[in-house]
């Protein structure tokens, strides 16, 4: 059998029992990292010695306008996964969020190891963690995994949930079948060789079958998982309370309680952390960074796989022409936005990945700020006087930083070269719903502005592959390039990480050159923590490990 999990080698070697020792080594490394009271690159916040003497409650000011619905696929985008999904639940495969000096890698979750057969790399075997229980006391086993998969993949299941399936389907797009082997082993059969599967499974969170059977459609208001925290209560629009899972298989968190508060306005989040209403504020206003630092707050940043782009409608109108798309990319003053507007809390983006990442391609179209070149390209495309278009943008929400100001900045840049953009602003969750449905047919919309994680190689397929070869993708712009699709086929079928990385690097160049998106910035995951918050590692990831945190 070919085993499918090893650090830096994509899922080829069986995860050894050394994982426990490695975890201990990681914890020792974190303890040695020391404090970080300024903007940094993945530093750990030093642990305090007096944490146990104080109330271990962490209050977080989220950027979302609403509390995430805490089902096994939370609402409010990936901020819902960050603060709710990955706290209440586990997946078969989890993210390793213990380091800040490299993009997060995969690690065992509810599956201790996984492998494919030497004779058939479409057949995966997952060996499940033993001795794990859900927070309602029921055991985790193979039946629980099959139940979770049936809930989103088997329309004949009594507990199939069409809404959850609509959100989660992309994670099982190449799953042909699955089966229980014994109480601690399952198999998953894919339709084609598909090396991205472990990444996709990180989003398939597993809830308690007994709780779902008992509560049915009322499961979300009373969710039960195996995660490091358990659900306590929720007052919509006000707060959600989570408590530590004392029996967590990965070790009980140091915090006793997490309180989540939705605060969509950046100025309100700033006021909340300054007043002590919250201990942790996502994306405070950039003009407040120096003020917060001088007052002793911890300002943390780190590059991570994430981008703030415009997804263009390349099937109709001006955006169908690559020269128009390239013109728009040359029209954006990314450096000015990153430094002047965003206070250094973002870096320019000219392709999906940031410089230094394995999938970044330095041979791609550079997209420097060049308004004259933008005007020239527009004229060559038949638009010497420009054109009008509408962009749908969010008012706030997960990973969007300061969308109103940023969109107005881009609007001004594009206006200067003749592209007259009408901005249509809508609430974040409404935008997500609209985005999934695709570009409207009854009116002209040239682009959606949406923040997107690029953490998984399946990102390349989900958002850019031709739909016919990649079912359940969300390539709503209709981008298609046969050469790109061929690269994706190779990457999906390649189980050697070095070779796969090279295919994805080549794919990045095609995406930059073809410009199906307007690439704007990679944000740096800015957040502010009160001085008393200790032990947090700022990872190169959208997500966050809250189990290491204590209150001093």
Average pLDDT over residues 13-31: 34
- Quickly tell me which residue has 């700033």 as its tokens: 270
Which pair of tokens denotes residue 282?
A: 């996502």
pLDDT score at 311: 98
Task: Answer for the pair 439, 313: CB distance below 8 angstroms, yes or no.
Answer: yes
Q: What percent of the chain clears pLDDT 90, i.e. is strictly above it?
A: 82
Task: Answer for the pair 150, 159: CB distance below 8 angstroms, yes or no.
Answer: yes
Torsion sign, CA atoms 62, 65, 67, 73: negative
DSSP structure string for 397-414: -TT-SSHHHHHHHHHHHH
472 pLDDT band, cuts 50/70/90, is: low
pLDDT score at 35: 34
Please check the confidence at residue 26 and state whether its pLDDT lies above 70: no
Which pair of tokens denotes residue 222?
A: 């009373």
Please check the confidence at residue 307 and state whether its pLDDT lies above 50: yes
Which pair of tokens denotes residue 90?
A: 């586990």
Tell me the per-residue pLDDT of 308-362, one tens digit each, with 9 for 90 and over. Answer: 999 999 998 999 999 999 999 999 999 999 999 999 999 999 999 999 899 999 9
Average pLDDT over residues 414-428: 96
Who has greater pLDDT, 241 or 17? 241
Average pLDDT over residues 450-456: 92
pLDDT score at 143: 98
Q: What structural domains and CATH numbers belong to the chain? A: 35-70+82-88+227-302+525-552 (3.40.190.10), 90-226 (3.90.76.10), 306-523 (3.10.105.10)
Q: What percent of the chain clears pLDDT 70, i.e. is strictly above it?
A: 89
pLDDT score at 486: 95
pLDDT score at 43: 39
Please check the confidence at residue 82 and state whether its pLDDT lies above 50: yes
pLDDT score at 34: 33
468 pLDDT band, cuts 50/70/90, is: low
47 pLDDT band, cuts 50/70/90, is: very low
Tell me the per-residue pLDDT of 349-407, one tens digit each, with 9 for 90 and over. Answer: 999 999 989 999 999 999 999 999 999 999 999 999 999 999 999 998 878 888 999 99
Among left, alpha and beta (phi > 0; psi -120 to 50; other), residue 397 is left
168 pLDDT band, cuts 50/70/90, is: confident
Torsion sign, CA atoms 375, 376, 379, 380: negative
pLDDT score at 278: 98
Nearest alpha carbon to residue 485 among 501, 498, 503:
503
Who has greater pLDDT, 8 or 301? 301
- Quickly tell me which residue has 């990444």 as its tokens: 199
pLDDT score at 216: 85
Task: Answer for the pair 441, 183: CB distance below 8 angstroms, yes or no.
Answer: no
Question: Across the chain, what does the average pLDDT equal?
Answer: 90
């Amino acid at each position: 059998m070919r085993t499918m999990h090893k650090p830096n080698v994509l899922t080829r070697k069986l995860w050894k029992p050394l994982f426990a020792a490695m975890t201990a080594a990681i914890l020792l490394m974190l303890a040695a990292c020391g404090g970080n009271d300024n903007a940094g690159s993945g530093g750990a916040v030093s642990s305090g010695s007096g944490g146990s003497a104080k109330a271990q409650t962490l209050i977080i000011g989220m950027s979302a306008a609403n509390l995430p619905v805490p089902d096994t696929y939370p609402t409010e985008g990936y901020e819902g996964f960050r603060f709710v999904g990955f706290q209440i639940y586990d997946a078969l495969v989890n993210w390793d969020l213990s380091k800040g000096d490299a993009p997060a890698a995969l690690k065992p979750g509810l599956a201790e190891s996984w492998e494919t057969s030497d004779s058939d790399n479409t057949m995966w075997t997952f060996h499940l963690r033993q001795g794990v229980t859900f927070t309602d006391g029921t055991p985790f086993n193979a039946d629980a995994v099959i139940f979770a998969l049936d809930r989103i993949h088997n329309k004949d299941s009594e507990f199939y949930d069409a809404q959850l399936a609509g959100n989660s389907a992309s994670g099982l797009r190449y799953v042909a079948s699955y089966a229980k082997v014994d109480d601690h082993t399952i198999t998953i059969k894919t339709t084609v060789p598909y090396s991205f599967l472990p990444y996709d499974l990180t989003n398939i969170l597993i809830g308690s079958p007994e709780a779902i059977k008992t509560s049915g459609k009322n499961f979300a208001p009373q969710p039960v998982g195996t995660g490091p925290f358990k659900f306590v209560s929720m007052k919509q629009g006000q707060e959600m309370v989570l408590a530590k899972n004392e029996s967590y298989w990965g070790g009980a968190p140091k915090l006793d309680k997490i309180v989540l508060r939705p605060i969509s306005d950046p100025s309100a989040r700033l006021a909340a952390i300054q007043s002590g209403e919250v201990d942790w504020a996502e994306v405070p206003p950039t003009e407040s960074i120096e003020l917060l630092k001088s007052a002793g707050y911890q300002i943390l940043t780190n590059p991570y796989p994430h981008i703030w782009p415009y997804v263009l409608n390349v099937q109709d109108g001006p955006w169908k022409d690559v020269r128009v798309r390239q013109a728009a990319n040359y029209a954006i003053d990314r450096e000015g936005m990153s430094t002047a507007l965003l206070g250094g809390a973002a870096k320019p983006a000219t392709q999906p990945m940031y410089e230094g990442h394995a999938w970044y391609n330095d041979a791609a179209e550079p997209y420097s700020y060049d308004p004259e070149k933008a005007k020239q390209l527009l004229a060559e495309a038949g638009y010497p006087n420009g054109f009008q278009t509408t962009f749908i943008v969010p008012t706030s929400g997960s990973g969007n930083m300061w969308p109103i100001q940023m969109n107005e900045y881009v609007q001004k840049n594009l206006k200067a070269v003749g592209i007259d953009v009408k901005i249509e602003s809508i609430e974040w969750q409404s935008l997500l719903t609209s985005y999934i449905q695709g570009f409207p047919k009854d009116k002209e919309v040239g682009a959606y502005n949406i923040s997107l994680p690029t953490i998984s190689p399946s990102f390349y397929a989900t958002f850019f592959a031709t739909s016919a070869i990649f079912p359940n993708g969300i390539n709503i712009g209709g981008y298609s390039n046969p050469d790109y699709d061929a690269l994706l086929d190779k990457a999906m079928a390649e189980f050697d990480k070095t070779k796969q990385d090279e295919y994805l690097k080549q794919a990045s160049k095609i995406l930059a050159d073809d410009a199906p998106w307007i690439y704007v910035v990679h944000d740096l995951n800015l957040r502010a923590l009160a001085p008393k918050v200790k032990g947090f590692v700022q990872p190169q990831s959208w997500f966050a490990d809250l189990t290491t945190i204590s209150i001093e």
